[in-house]
């Protein structure tokens, strides 16, 4: 199955968690600029040096940098069979750039999955998040604890807390989301691509609602 999806939603809504499950289920890559930026920062690359101050303060990385990165990823052979864009686009300039890029590449999106969660829940979700240093899998101290404390269930990597998950930075990210990203809900609704999912439910239920919205059944593999 070749799915081309966008995941939209506020910080901490569960985009990464759900995109990761779908990506494994249908064997398509999850392309997440946030993860790519954090990796670049950890590896002290030129890109990492450029983006670190934006990420640490909860601001958006400049559009030109982000759009160029996504252009490379979407043009790569691994995206040919489908993809999930997790955290891109994040404003109207990026959405319009994505439309142009997809047109150039002859690709049509299947859906934009919007995961909605009430704002008062989002700070708690981000504050309790722990992420694997090695494979990037996300856990939560209360809602999704790892089997062994601070150890990734999937690869045995060490878990850490993201710098931008401090409450004051999470609040800044929520403001940035409201101002820049929320308008994309209407943008994709007008294109007839939007699927609204209630993200304020257990992870498994959110996943089954996404499957249903996409018309996937339990046996669907790629």
Contacts of 6 (CB under 8 A, 6+ apart): 84, 85, 88, 89, 109, 111, 112, 113, 188, 193
115-144 residues in contact with ligand AP5 (CB under 6 A) are 125-126, 128-129, 138-140, 143-144
Q: Which residue stretch of 30-38, 72-80, 146-154, 210-218 sits at the interface with ligand AP5 (rule: CB under 6 A)?
A: 30-38
Is residue 214 within 8 A of residue 3, CB to CB? The reply is yes
Nearest CB to ligand AP5, comparing residues 2 and 212: 212
Number of shown-chain residues binding ligand AP5 (CB under 6 A): 39
The reply to whether 58 sits near ligand AP5 by the rule CB under 6 A is: yes
15 counts as catalytic: yes
Asked about 162 being catalytic, the answer comes back as yes
Exposure on the CB side of residue 53, measured as CA atoms within 13 A: 4
Tell whether residue 33 is a contact of ligand AP5 (CB under 6 A): yes
CB closer to ligand AP5 out of 65 and 193: 65
Distance CA 142, CA 187 (A): 35
Round to whole Å and give the CA distance between 29 and 89: 16
Binding mask 66-95 for ligand AP5 (x = CB under 6 A): x--------------------xx-x---x-
- Token pair 């590449």 is found at 105
Taking CB under 6 A as the criterion, the residue among 3, 6, 8, 12 binding ligand AP5 is 12
CB of 57 to ligand AP5, least distance (A): 8
Sheet of strand 83-86, all strands in order from the earlier edge strand to the far edge: 30-31, 83-86, 4-8, 111-116, 194-198
Helix axes 63-75, 33-42, angle to 10 degrees: 100
| Shortest distance in whole angstroms from residue 20 CB to ligand AP5 | 8
3-state secondary structure of 71: helix
Instruction: Report how far residue 3's alpha carbon sits from residue 108's, in angstroms, rounded to the nearest whole number.
Output: 10
Residues that bind ligand AP5 (CB under 6 A): 9, 11-17, 32-34, 37, 54-55, 58-61, 66, 87-88, 90, 94, 125-126, 128-129, 138-140, 143-144, 164, 173, 199, 201-203, 206
Instruction: Cite the active site residues.
Output: 15, 90, 129, 162, 173
């Amino acid at each position: 199955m070749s799915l081309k999806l966008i995941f939209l939603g506020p910080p901490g809504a569960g985009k990464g968690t759900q995109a990761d499950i779908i990506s494994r289920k249908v064997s398509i890559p999850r392309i997440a600029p946030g993860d790519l930026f954090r990796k670049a920062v950890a590896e002290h690359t030129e890109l990492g040096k450029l983006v670190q101050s934006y990420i640490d303060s909860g601001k958006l990385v400049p559009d030109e940098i982000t759009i160029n990165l996504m252009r490379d990823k979407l043009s790569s052979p691994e995206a040919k069979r489908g993809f999930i864009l997790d955290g891109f686009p994040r404003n109207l300039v990026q959405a319009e750039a994505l439309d142009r890029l997809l047109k150039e590449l002859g690709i049509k999106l299947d859906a934009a999955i919007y995961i909605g969660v009430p704002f008062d829940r989002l700070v708690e979700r981000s504050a309790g998040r722990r992420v694997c240093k090695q494979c990037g899998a996300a856990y939560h101290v209360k809602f999704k604890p790892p089997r062994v404390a601070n150890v990734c269930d999937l690869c045995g990597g060490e878990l850490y807390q993201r710098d931008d998950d401090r409450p004051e930075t999470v609040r800044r990210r929520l403001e940035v989301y409201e101002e820049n990203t929320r308008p994309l809900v209407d943008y994709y609704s007008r294109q007839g691509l939007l699927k609204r999912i209630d993200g304020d439910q257990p992870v498994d239920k959110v996943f089954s609602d996404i499957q249903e919205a996409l018309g996937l059944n339990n046996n669907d593999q790629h």
